[in-house]
Amino acid sequence: MKEMKKLFILLTLCIATNVLFAAERLQIKVNYTKGLYKGLTYSAIQEAEPDFIKDKPRYEGRFLEEFEKKITEPIAVVFTDTPDKKGNYMTINILTVSPKGNLVAEVSYKGQTKQFKCKGGTFGSFLNLFGDGMGSLGKDLAKWIHTL
């Protein structure tokens, strides 16, 4: 029985490894520093919303969740502050985020730059609504990538 479990784990790892190697790697840098959040600068929003930085993985998680639902080719997304410019990378500059989480972002990918206006949420804290806006951005970016 132990041998069967080991075999199953080994097989699962092999499959996962093959999927990762078959997937194109996309590095994404999200620049939050130039944005206005509820009319506040990046520094001011950190004071007004103490969990703003701590919740960054949650916003990016919402982005990734919705992006992966809409993308059709296998892409392994990696969030990074320093993308390898020789590789496949995307830069997202958050420009504005309304109190409802509606956001405007400027995205650069494969030599093209496009501005996106994305819907936030209707109920919850600002940080939760911002997460909704990031999810909407993930959907819109996946659709845009299909057109390139």
String of DSSP letters for 91-137: EEEEEEE-TT--EEEEEEETTEEEEEEE---SSS-HHHHHHHHHHHH
Give the number of other Cβ atoms within 10 Å of residue 44's Cβ.
Answer: 13
Residues of the chain with pLDDT > 90, as a percent, come to: 75
pTM, two decimal places: 0.82
What is the percent of the chain where pLDDT is above 70?
85
What does the pLDDT average to over 125-139? Answer: 97
**DSSP element (H, E) containing 75:** strand 75-79
Residue 143: pLDDT band (50, 70, 90) is very high
Q: Distance between CA 106 and CA 114 in Å, rounded?
A: 6
